Amino acid sequence: MRRERSLELIDAQSGGDVSRVVTAGIEPLPGISVLEKARFLEREGDGLRRLLLSEPYGDPAMSVDLLVEPGHPEAQAGYIIMEAMGYPLYSGSNTLCVATVLLESGMLPMADGPQQLVLESPAGLARITAVTADGRVESVTTQGEPAYVAERGLSVDVPEYGPVGFDLVWSGAYYAMIDAAAHGFALTADEQIALSAFGDAFVRTARPGLRQEHPSLGDLGPLPFVHVMGPVEVTADGRRVSRSATYVHPGVICRSPTGTGTSARLALLAGQGEIGPGDTLETVSPRGNRFIGTLGEVAQVGPFPAWHSRITGSARLMARSRLTVDLDDPLVDASDLEALLSG
């Protein structure tokens, strides 16, 4: 008898980054909070991430979001984020995609006009305003947990690149924030291979001894992200705009400017006194895709001054599919999949 299982998927993209939202086919995970469920999946069921982000079933440049029952009474749904680097606790582009999928698929009711949602990520609650019209989500604004600057003025000597200075910021994961001009980057599309090589060399060199702890979330694992920052320019109509590139280890340059990268940049600028609550920054990826970040109120995370922020963008549904998983296929690592996939 063939051992086959199926997964229901809805693929969406935000700023060009693809999120594969798993809507059915997975057994309920143990744990109350989404963080507990994510830790279980990482520990006992990582085959799902590897399956959906690897050939022939997927691609490491994608993300996967597994819908789960929320633990927080305010939340209408929960989601676990999986990427090439592992299990980020929060992601702006993934949140935009999940909110859009939930509304446009009918899993959550949708009415024209602004609509408030609360979703539970592993990092905590994401408070969302979705603007909808004619059955489509036109834009999503999400506010996750506050970001903070963990360490400033760090430096590491990277082979073939020399000394690289950076700041370490948490915004759903730890980011190394690096000045683009200091290393000759203009952050254009033709630099993506060079940016990936730079990011890979930097992360491999910088990881040992680098902070991994969050005051309330505990051990976050080794550094996963690099955000290479262009200068902040002010347009004729007063908007702040900055080119940026987010590297995800190993080997991925995001197509979007990333929501968490934008939040990290806002926290860095706020900590330097360059912006205040209500100020905005439009970030532009090497491929020209854009998110708008708005600095929110001041907060506190353990000993760190922190800042809330809101990220605005849009997502589009791309495909609805049923994926057949043959557990006897030699290209499928079934060791921790069989118990996870529902019959």
> Can you tell me whether residue 190 is helix, strand or coil?
helix
Which regions in the chain score pLDDT beneath 50? Answer: none
In a domain, 236, yes or no: yes
In a domain, 337, yes or no: no
Note whether 300 and 322 are same-domain residues.
Answer: no
- The predicted-structure confidence for 18-39, as pLDDT tens digits, reads as follows 999 999 999 999 999 999 999 9
Q: What is the pLDDT of residue 338?
A: 85
Note whether 209 and 288 are same-domain residues.
Answer: yes
Note whether 301 and 165 are same-domain residues.
Answer: yes
Which residue in 157, 30, 19 sits closest to 91, CA to CA?
19
Note whether 241 and 135 are same-domain residues.
Answer: no
Q: What is the pLDDT of residue 3?
A: 85
Residues 6+ apart with CB under 8 A from 214: 170, 220, 301, 302
Residues with a catalytic annotation lie at 91
In whole angstroms, what is the distance from residue 117 CA to residue 99 CA?
Answer: 8
> Can you tell me whether residue 231 is helix, strand or coil?
coil
Q: What is the pLDDT of residue 333?
A: 83
Q: What is the pLDDT of residue 1?
A: 66
Range of the domain at 296: 147-313
In whole angstroms, what is the distance from residue 206 CA to residue 58 CA?
Answer: 29
Q: What is the pLDDT of residue 148?
A: 97
Note whether 123 and 191 are same-domain residues.
Answer: no
In whole angstroms, what is the distance from residue 23 CA to residue 17 CA?
Answer: 19
In a domain, 251, yes or no: yes
Provide the domain count of the chain.
2
* 124 CB burial (10 A radius; 0-12, 13-18, 19+): buried
Note whether 139 and 157 are same-domain residues.
Answer: no
In a domain, 334, yes or no: no
In a domain, 341, yes or no: no
CATH no. for residue 246? 3.10.310.10
Q: What is the pLDDT of residue 264?
A: 97
Note whether 110 and 157 are same-domain residues.
Answer: no
Note whether 114 and 136 are same-domain residues.
Answer: yes
Q: Cβ–Cβ contacts within 10 Å for residue 112, how many? A: 12
In a domain, 152, yes or no: yes
In a domain, 332, yes or no: no
Residues 6+ apart with CB under 8 A from 310: 141, 142, 143, 293, 294, 296
Q: What is the pLDDT of residue 227?
A: 98
Q: What is the pLDDT of residue 343?
A: 64
Note whether 94 and 166 are same-domain residues.
Answer: no
Note whether 251 and 322 are same-domain residues.
Answer: no
- The predicted-structure confidence for 228-252, as pLDDT tens digits, reads as follows 999 999 998 889 999 999 999 999 9
Note whether 266 and 151 are same-domain residues.
Answer: yes
For residue 9, CA distances in Å to 85, 98, 103, 120, 237 come to 21, 12, 15, 20, 42
